[in-house]
Structure 1
Amino acid sequence: MTEAAIDPTVPPSGTGCVECDADGGWWVHLRRCAACGHVGCCDTSPAQHATAHWRATGHPVVRSFEPGEHWFWDYAAEDYARGPELAPPQSRPEDQPVPGPAGRVPADWRDHIHA
């Protein structure tokens, strides 16, 4: 992992997945790009936007954007990574449901996720 993979000064792009929010989608969990702050949905989510962001940008390191989780993942190494404290906020709002966001998750959401 290169130093450019993490910029601790960049805030997250928002409180939810950028692409899902734009197209009315929903997510299971959120991941934050450690280089640019892009918030995308996890690989369990239907659209898998965090991984798509890595493939499109080459930014390999994400951090969980879930309350109480502080781990980093390096897509290129396919392994956990270490990283510094990132600019706040550290997670989605605690009152945001999982899956989320409220009002956009279908009743049969379990039928749409990736295991």
Structure 2
Amino acid sequence: MTSGSPEGIDPAVAPSGPGCVECDADGGWWVHLRRCAQCGHVGCCDSSPAQHATAHHEATGHPVMQSYEPGEDWFWDFTRSIGVTGPRLADPQSHPDDQPAPGPAGRVPEDWREHIH
């Protein structure tokens, strides 16, 4: 991990919601969630079938995301492909504790392990 807050982090921006924006819109599901540290967009991780967090970075150029899983506070800088440190972002810090991973409840197929990257 490098020290110092990189460009592309706005600690005042709240997350877009409790789940992946695109998966929620199309009825999809995710393995884990990631939060854009610049605009708050919540997308699914690269293990998830749709990989919306990376797609968000590619579409917007927003360089840094943070884990949106309970108990995790790590950041990833897509531009440099390294973990970085960053400030505490606006609450909430993660999806709801009662939301399962993978999630959301009711949309994850029984054979979900066969669909991950």
Q: Shorter-chain TM-score: which interval?
A: over 0.9
Counterpart of 1:50 in structure 2 is: 53
Counterpart of 2:24 in structure 1 is: 21
**How far 1:80 sits from its partner (Å)?**
0.2
Q: Is residue 111 from structure 1 mapped to residue 114 from structure 2 by the alignment?
A: yes
RMSD, matched Cα: 0.9
Counterpart of 1:83 in structure 2 is: 86
**How far 1:82 sits from its partner (Å)?**
1.1
TM-score (norm 2): 0.95
Change (3 A) 1:103 1:75: same
2:6/2:86 contact within 8 Å kept:
no
**Runs of 4+ residues over 2 Å off in structure 1:** none
2:48/2:116 contact within 8 Å kept:
yes
Counterpart of 2:12 in structure 1 is: 9
> Within 1, Cα distance between the matches of 2:81 and 2:28?
27
TM-score (norm 1): 0.96
> Within 1, Cα distance between the matches of 2:82 and 2:13?
23
Letter in structure 2 aligned against 1:106: P
Match of 1:105, SS state, is: coil
Alignment identity in percent?
74
Give unmatched runs, 5+ long, in structure 1.
none
> Within 2, Cα distance between the matches of 1:97 and 1:66?
10
What number of residue pairs does the alignment pair up? 113
**How far 1:2 sits from its partner (Å)?**
4.9
1:71-110 CA-to-partner distances (Å, cap 9, x unmatched) read 0000110000111000000000010011000000000000
Counterpart of 2:99 in structure 1 is: 96
Match of 2:34, SS state, is: strand
Give unmatched runs, 5+ long, in structure 2.
none
> Within 1, Cα distance between the matches of 2:6 and 2:71?
26
